[in-house]
Amino acid sequence: MAISILLSLASVLLLVTTLLPMSRSEVWWIRGWDFPRLQLFYVACGLIIAQLIWQNWQNILAYPVFFTTVLCACYQGWWILPYIPLYPQEVGSATDDNEDRCISILTANVLMTNRRAGELIDLIIEYRPDIFVTLESDHWWQQQLDTLQTTYPYSVKCPLDNLYGMHVYSKLELLEPQVEFLIEKDVPSMTCKIPLRGQDTVRMHFLHPAPPSPTENEESTERDAELVLIARRVAGQDNPVIVTGDMNDVAWSATTRLFRKISGLLDPRIGRGIFNTFHADYPFFRWPLDHLFHSTHFRLRQLRRLPGFGSDHFPLYTQLCFQPEHRQLHTAPQAQQEDQQRANEKLAKAGDASP
């Protein structure tokens, strides 16, 4: 009897954590339940097995409790389904071996207090990305990374001591580089144009919006607005675009889906895997916070989560090939009128909340 009660209570808690993110509330403790959908799916599956074995089926309430658990498992699984390898890939694999039309990017949140810079530098030397971007990098990290300037002569630097410093280093020339503070005065983003070796030019955006949390922003307003603002900037462009960084949001959240619909950018992880990058120290509590999205001009050659280097994030390595002749093979997300209205509301709320 006692175990049946415990199993029923567990189902109620699972139902509550499943229903909370359905709210459009931007309060951090509600939006936080967007993150562990994979973990909640595992919990639901385990709870289904436990109920089949130990539930008291003589109690008529056992049946609605069981089916509630099954529905929660199905709902959580629906969100993460696109990120399993059996799902159709959104981005095709590259077929062009012409290196001049390819670009590789390494994205790494370094954890500002981390002092194992040598391990990250070793990864950069090993994988030789054309561009690498670091988040949370301060003046100390800049000094360490500057040792690579012979190989990476082009850079944009914004060292900060508030966990939002950002650095971009590149083998390729950075045209029209800008450091912007789009929503919050102490949270930068970067943008530039990058000519590929084959003379094609790519517009790149590097982001690290502040997350909704009790120690940062009590609501997701600022993060959501920054993502929507960048999405609006790149929407409808005929030129190739790449957006990357630690976006402090998971790939399957309603906000990231809105970003993709407004921007029309593709996610190379769909049909390939989740590529969880955070938290590096806790295997069960991991989700994809570091992202790379791109326009339909590209196909994917490589996507890897690299080994840890002392940060709470793993680096993400992506190699794309510029193949606009295959654009028609990609189906870009499209925004409906409701999505545009929601985007307008997020921007308006951020404007009202700004000092």
Residue 159: inside a domain, yes or no? yes
What is the pTM (predicted TM-score) of this model?
0.94
Beta strand pairing call for 201-207 and 241-246: parallel
Q: Are residues 114 and 223 in the same domain?
A: yes
Please report whether residue 67 resides in a domain: yes
Final residue of a structural domain among 83, 112, 137: 83
At 354 the pLDDT is 45
- The reply to whether 71 and 213 lie within a common domain is no
Instruction: Give the Cα separation of 329 and 314 in Å (integer).
Output: 31
139 and 242 part of one domain: yes
User: Domain boundary at 59, 83, 107, which?
Assistant: 83
Residues 155 and 66 in one domain: no
Q: Please report which helix (H) or strand (E) contains residue 120, including its range.
A: helix 117-127
Distance between CA atoms of 87 and 97, rounded to whole angstroms? Answer: 26
Regions in the chain scoring below 70 on pLDDT: 1, 198, 352-355
Same domain as 77, residue 118: no
Q: Report the interhelical angle of 2-19 vs 37-54 (nearest 10°).
A: 150
At 244, list the tokens: 């990357």
| 353 inside domain | no
Q: 269 and 163 share a domain? A: yes
Domains identified in the chain, total number: 2
Pair (65, 173) in one structural domain:
no
pLDDT at position 35, please? 96
Q: Which domain holds residue 241?
A: 99-348
Amino acid at 208: H
Residue 91 located in a structural domain: no
Distance CA 321, CA 300 (A): 6
Dist CA 80 CA 45 (whole Å): 14
* 313 DSSP 8-state letter: B
Residue 146 resides in a domain: yes
Report which DSSP code applies to 301. Answer: E
Q: Specify if 326 maps to a domain.
A: yes
Residue 179 lies in a domain: yes
| Boundary of a domain, candidates 38, 55, 83 | 83
pLDDT at 1: 61
Shared domain for 62 and 166, answered yes or no, is no
Three-state SS at 62:
helix
- 133 with 251, same domain? yes
Residue with token string 């498992």: 73
Question: Both 107 and 210 in a single domain?
Answer: yes
**Helix (H), strand (E) at residue 349:** helix 337-353
Token pair recorded at residue 213: 């949390």
Q: Are 112 and 141 in contact (CB under 8 A)?
A: yes
pLDDT for the residue 64: 92
- Asked if residue 205 and residue 148 are part of one domain, the reply reads yes
**Nearest residue to 191 via CA among 208, 179, 209, 173:** 179
Query: Does a structural domain hold residue 88?
Result: no
Shared-domain flag, residues 146 and 22: no
- CATH code (residue 191): 3.60.10.10
Q: At 85, which amino acid appears?
A: P
